[in-house]
Amino acid sequence: MPQMAPINWLILFILFFFTFIITSNMIYFMYLKNMKMKSNKKNLMKNYNKFI
């Protein structure tokens, strides 16, 4: 197996790290959106009960 240049390892590491950051951010923001939607539904229910 031929030796890889250090620059190639650096590029591979940066690409892997970048993809990891993007995926983690996507998961985090999707989780935040779900939490916000749940809290909004709860608030709507509270307001509905107040109107009754």
- CA pair distance 25, 50, nearest whole angstrom: 37
- Cα separation of 10 and 18, whole Å? 12
**CA 18/CA 12 separation, integer angstroms:** 10
- Confidence (pTM): 0.50
1-52, pLDDT tens digit by residue? 567 788 888 999 999 999 999 999 999 888 888 777 776 666 666 666 666 6
Q: How far apart are CA 43 and CA 49, in angstroms?
A: 10
